[in-house]
Chains A and B, each alone.
Chain A
Amino acid sequence: MTQEVTGTAPEKLVAVPVRHYGRWVGALVVVGLFGWLVSAFGNADIHYHVTRDYLFEHVILVGVWHTIEISVLSQLLGIGLGVLAAVMRQSGNPVIGSIGWFYVWLFRGTPLLLQIILWFNLAAIFPTLSIPGVWHADTNVFITPFMAALLGLGINEGAYMAEIVRAGIGSVDNGQTEASHALGMTQGLTMRRIVLPQAMRVIIPPTGNEFINMLKSSALVNAAQYTEVFRVSQTEAGKNLELIPMLFVAAIWYLVLTSVFSVGQYYLERRFARGAQRELPATPVRRLLALIGKPPRT
C-alpha cells in the first residue's frame, strides 16, 4: 500500500508558544539598573571631555602600541618556554624533568607583579651579566624597562603555557607514540613530528585565552616603568590631575584590544573544533543577519 499523494501542502501546525513572562521582568530590572548606573556616572563630577580629548592623543596611541608589542612578544616567549618546559617534564631524564617541574612551580607560585619588580632590579643580585668569552653586559644597561617587562611577562606566561601544552600532549593517543617507536623513531623525533603537531588542536584555543589575559596583565609592567597604555595614561593624569577620566582612556583601549582579539579567538576556536562537533553553531554575525531577516551567506 502506498501513501496517497496530495496536491496541497500539509496544514501548518498552530499552537500558542510558551510565554516567558520571567524574561520580560528580568529585562525590565536590567534596564532599570543600567539606567541607574548611567545616571550615577553622569551625575558624578567627572570631566568626560578629558577622556574624549585624550583618547587619540599621540602619547596614548604610542602606549597602546607598546601594550600590543609587549603582549605579543611576551606571549611568543611564553609559548616557546611553555613547550620547552612541558617537553622537559615528559622526559625520562629525572634531572631534566625536575628542572621543568621546578620552573613551573616557581613562576606559577609567585605573583607576577613581584616577578616583574624582581627582574627590573636584577642588578641587585647580578651586577653584571656575562657568557664567559662571548658576551658581557652591565645588568643595569641590559635590563631596560622593556627587557624587564618582557622577561617578567614572558617567563611567567611560560609556566602557564607549560600546563596547557602538557594537557595537549596528554590528549594525543598513546598508540601514536607506540607506532612511532615501532618505526624506529626516537623520543625527540616522535615528540616533534608526531605528538606536538596533533597536540596543537588542544593547545591553540586556550592559548588565545591566555593572550587576552596577557593584554591586561601587561598593565603590571607599569612597575618596571615600561610605557604601555596604562602607565602613560597615569603619567598624563599626574600632569592634568584628571585621574578617573584618564583611567577611562586606558579602560576603553583595553576593551578595544580585548574585543578585537576575542573575535580572533572565537574564530580560532571554531576552526579547531571542526570534527569534534557534528555541526558548528552559527557565528554571531550570521545570527545577527538572521535576526534582521537577511538570508545568511553560506
Chain B
Amino acid sequence: MTTPMVKAERVHKYFGKLEVLKGIDLEVQPGEVCCLLGPSGSGKSTFLRCINHLEKITAGRLSVDGELVGYRQQGDKLYELREKETAAKRAEIGMVFQRFNLFPHMTALGNVIEAPTKVRRTSKAQAVQDAKALLERVGLADKVDSYPAQLSGGQQQRVAIARALAMKPKLMLFDEPTSALDPELVGEVLDVMRGLAKDGMTMVVVTHEMAFARDVGDTVVFMDGGVVVEKGDPNQVIDNPQHPRTKAFLGKVL
C-alpha cells in the first residue's frame, strides 16, 4: 500500500475558544484530486491551511507524504520544527489563494522565478527557462513581462498557479481559486487546473464549482461546522447525497 499524500487523523483546530475543526479524518492518495465542499465557515479553508502549516493544528495528527506537518516525532515525543525546516517542507507544497496574492512589484516572470532562485537556488537562466515554459503552459506566454496590475483576475490566478508549479510541488492546494473572479474568467482557470489533474498532480481543492468537482474530482468531501459530513465519489455525493445537511446545501447551490 502506498503512503497517502495527505493523512489527517482527528485533527482539531481552535482559534482562541472557537473550535473550527472538530476532528477531521481524511486521506488523499497520490495522484488524487480531492474537492472540499461546504458552506463558508465550515472549516474547509482552515483545514487546507493546516496542510502546509500556515495554521497550526491544536490536536490530532496531520502528515504529508508520510511526514508530520510542522513537527518531528522521536519515540512518542513531538518536537516543533525550526522555521527553516517548516519552510523547506512548504516548498514541496504549492498553494493557490482566493485573492491570488501575486507580488505586485514583480513581473509575471519575476513572480514565477522568485522562489526557485531564492529558495531552491536554481540558476537564473534555468529558472527563467522553466518559468517561461510554465507561463506558456497556463496560456500566458505573451504576458511574461506584465505586472500583476496589468493582468485580468483570471490571468493573475494563472500566473499564481505557474508560480506554485515552479517549485515542482508534490501536492497542490487550491483555496477557492475562482471565487474572486468574474464568471467569464472562471473557465480559463479551471481549464488549467483540469490539465494539472490530467497530468497526475495530487490536488486538494476548496471550491464552490460543483461542475468542476464532479468532472475532475476523484473524491468529494462535504464539510460543515468543522466536521466531515459526507465523503466519497463525486457522483454519489453531489448527485445522490445521503446526509440531510449535504442535501440542503447542494439544493441551494446546484
Contacts and interface: CB of A to CB of B under 8 A. Distances in A.
B115 interface: yes
A197 B114 CA distance: 14
B87 interface: yes
A267 B94 CA distance: 42
B88 interface: yes
Contacts, number: 62
A178 B102 CA distance: 11
Contact of B101 (A176, A184, A187, A275): A176
Nearest to B49: A178
B165 to A, nearest CB: 11
A178 B101 contact: yes
Interface in A240-298: 275
A175 B105 contact: no
Contacts of B89: 184
Given A175-B101, A179-B101, A183-B163, A193 B90 contact: no
Given A185-B87, A187-B83, A198 B115 contact: no
B54 interface: yes
A193 B119 contact: no
Given A176-B103, A193-B114, A194-B103, A182 B54 contact: yes
A235 interface: no
A184 B167 contact: yes
Interface residues of B, number: 29
A184 B114 contact: no
Contacts of B212: none
A179 B83 contact: no
A186 interface: yes
Nearest to B116: A183
Contacts of A193: 114, 118
B57 interface: no
Given A189-B118, A193-B118, A184 B90 contact: yes
A136 interface: no
Nearest to B52: A182
B97 interface: yes
Contacts of A47: none
A182 B171 CA distance: 12
B64 interface: no
B99 interface: yes
A198 B148 CA distance: 14
Contacts of A181: 54, 87, 90
Given A189-B118, A198-B104, A184 B87 contact: yes
Contacts of B84: 186
Contacts of B103: 176, 179, 194, 198
Interface string A187-227: 10100011001100000000000000000000000000000
Nearest to B82: A186
Contacts of A197: 105
A183 B97 contact: no
A183 B105 contact: no
Given A175-B99, A176-B101, A187-B83, A182 B90 contact: yes
Contacts of B102: 179
B91 interface: yes
Nearest to B114: A193
Nearest to A186: B87
A186 B97 contact: no
Nearest to A198: B105
Contact of B119 (A176, A178, A189, A198): A189
A48 B99 CA distance: 66
A187 to B, nearest CB: 6
Contact of B95 (A182, A185, A187, A189): A182
Interface string A129-172: 00000000000000000000000000000000000000000000
Given A178-B97, A185-B118, A186-B83, 16 more contacts: A175-B97, A175-B99, A175-B101, A178-B54, A178-B101, A179-B101, A179-B103, A181-B90, A182-B54, A182-B97, A183-B119, A183-B163, A183-B167, A184-B119, A185-B87, A193-B118
Across the A-B interface, give the 9 residue pairs with the lowest CB-CB distance, nearest first. A184-B91, A179-B101, A183-B115, A182-B95, A175-B101, A184-B90, A184-B119, A186-B87, A184-B87
Interface of B: 52, 54, 83-84, 87-95, 97, 99, 101-105, 114-115, 118-119, 149, 160, 163-164, 167
Interface of A: 173, 175-176, 178-179, 181-187, 189, 193-194, 197-198, 275
23 contacts: A175-B97, A176-B101, A176-B103, A179-B97, A179-B101, A179-B103, A181-B54, A181-B87, A182-B52, A182-B54, A182-B90, A183-B90, A183-B119, A183-B164, A184-B87, A185-B87, A186-B83, A186-B84, A187-B83, A189-B119, A193-B114, A193-B118, A198-B104
